[in-house]
Amino acid sequence: MNVLHERSGKIKPIAGGTDAIIQLKDGLLQTRELLDISSLGGLRYILREGSTVRIGALSTYSEIIESSILKSSCPTLVDASKTIGVIQLQNRATIGGNLANASPAGDTIPPLYVLAATITVQNHGGTRSIPIEKFFLDYRTIDLRADELITEISFEAVEKPCDATFLKLGLREAHFISVANLAIWVRWAPDGKSFSDVRVAMGAVAPVVLRAKKCEEFLRNRILNQNAVWQAGQIASSESSPITDIRGSAEYRRAVIPSLLYKAVHRLTESRRMWDRP
Amino acid sequence: MRERKFWLRLNGEKVSVSSPPAHTLLEVLREKLDVTGPKEDCGKGECGACTVLMNGKPVLSCLVLISQADGAEIVTSEGFMKDGIPDFVQKAFADNGAVQCGHCIPGFIVSTEALLSRNPNPSLADIKTAIAGNLCRCTGYTSIIRAVEHAARKK
């Protein structure tokens, strides 16, 4: 923290390095000095305290994927982490690094949006906590000062009657960057026919990950059927502002959002059905 | 860039090497330590040709800085040979025609060794996941998967 403070603006922290080293090779880093934090064991933990899950920012995807706490408290984040890169990357890349890199296609970000996660950052003077939606300001711009480090990500465990899921569309089966992705968190109404609360977040379809608030409003307390869910998907699509790039056109991205939402709700409905089995 | 001295436990031997701290582990292995099993193809973490074990886990040595590997245990494809003799994984690759141009194979060997050390009886899906980060442009993977299955039976 002292080094970051004294050399503020001149030095950039590097964690697993799977994004930063590529930027270094491409000459895209803004600073000439790097501060390697990858061996700070104190920021590698996954804990559950009461209903709160706390993840140290330097936890790797492999640690998230293997965490029994997360498998039971938030399988969605485990599923999202499994889709990121391949084993060699998962062994190095960290969740804090994924947030700091702030790619609009970052795959841990939509799940953390719908979990309403809190990001804790620290500098030599103290810590502050930021709701994740306030943390991402604009395309690759985050609310993190040059002398601050992301230290922790925390959220409430997902337990009945709540559920969550994550879906990602890519161009091949392994090791791909999202063309579009979508996370959804819901609280089932007691009769299991509607969501009494719902949060939807979409990635790679806007400069920053986006909450589909109109879609959420439409779905809240509405009896779920095919028409309603397709309509909700169309609303979500109208809330996006995708670009055309090497991985897909804006039109394609808009067109796949309803399918992602439909599949996600279908998956939640299937798993809700399992709850009622004796 | 100023050089610094780093220590590695490389293929079972303690070695020290001087390098600028922001050079990659791969550069140091190949250019300073003459360990040329790991290759640089993409340099961006797409191809897996530079895969090595770092403290027992497969990583991409093109995306690790030497300063991040200081004091680490590193095993490359060379490290699995005993007295110059290929081990069961390397032999399975040769026996199953899994090697054509051979360029990507050291990376596949390391990924396979990592898989079999934690999962001696991998399913086809386990094998595909384990080698998903390694690209081969010659074989079409069928013979490589056969080699991994063969190696698993030999373990």
A47 contacts chain B (CB < 8 A): no
B133 contacts chain A (CB < 8 A): yes
pLDDT tens profile B132-146: 999 999 988 999 999
CATH number of A162-275: 3.30.390.50
**What pTM did the predictor assign?**
0.93
Residue B146, H or E segment:
helix B142-154
Across all residues in chain B, what is the average pLDDT?
Answer: 96
Minimal CA separation from A157 to chain B, in Å: 28
DSSP annotation of A224: P
Q: What is the DSSP string of A201-267?
A: EEESSSSS-EE-HHHHHHHBTPPP-HHHHHHHHHHHHHH-----BTTB-HHHHHHHHHHHHHHHHHH
Give me the interface pTM, i.e. the ipTM: 0.94
List of E strands, A52-179: 52-56, 118-123, 126-131, 136-138, 141-142, 149-156, 162-169
Residue whose tokens read 């330590």: B33
Q: Do B8 and B35 form a contact (C-beta atoms < 8 A)?
A: no
Question: How confident is the model at residue A278, as a pLDDT?
Answer: 62
Note down pLDDT in tens along chain A; length 278 residues: 888 888 888 899 999 999 899 999 998 887 888 999 998 999 999 999 999 999 999 999 999 999 999 999 999 999 999 988 899 999 999 999 999 988 887 899 999 999 999 999 999 999 999 999 999 998 889 999 999 999 999 999 999 999 999 999 887 777 778 888 999 999 999 999 999 999 999 998 888 899 999 999 999 999 999 999 999 999 999 998 888 888 888 888 999 999 999 999 999 999 998 887 76
Minimal CA separation from A55 to chain B, in Å: 21
Minimal CA separation from A119 to chain B, in Å: 25
Helix axes B105-118, B142-154, angle to 10 degrees: 40
Domains defined along chain B, listed by start: 4-76 (3.10.20.30), 88-154 (1.10.150.120)
Closest chain A CA to residue B25: A21
Question: Which two structure tokens, joined as six digits, stand for A56?
Answer: 């140290």
Q: Which amino acid is at B124?
A: L
**Euclidean distance between CA atoms A65 and A78, whole angstroms:** 5
- Domain ranges in chain A? 2-156, 162-275
CATH number of A2-156: 3.30.465.10
B58 contacts chain A (CB < 8 A): yes
pLDDT tens profile B48-69: 999 999 999 999 999 999 999 9
Q: Do A117 and A201 form a contact (C-beta atoms < 8 A)?
A: no
Question: How confident is the model at residue A106, as a pLDDT?
Answer: 86
B111 contacts chain A (CB < 8 A): yes
B132 contacts in A (CB within 8 Å)? 86-87, 173-175
Question: How confident is the model at residue B105, as a pLDDT?
Answer: 97
Q: What is the DSSP string of B79-105?
A: GG-BTTB--HHHHHHHHTT--SS-TTH
* Selection from A43, A147, A45, A153 nearest residue A109 by Cα: A153
**Euclidean distance between CA atoms B36 and A241, whole angstroms:** 47
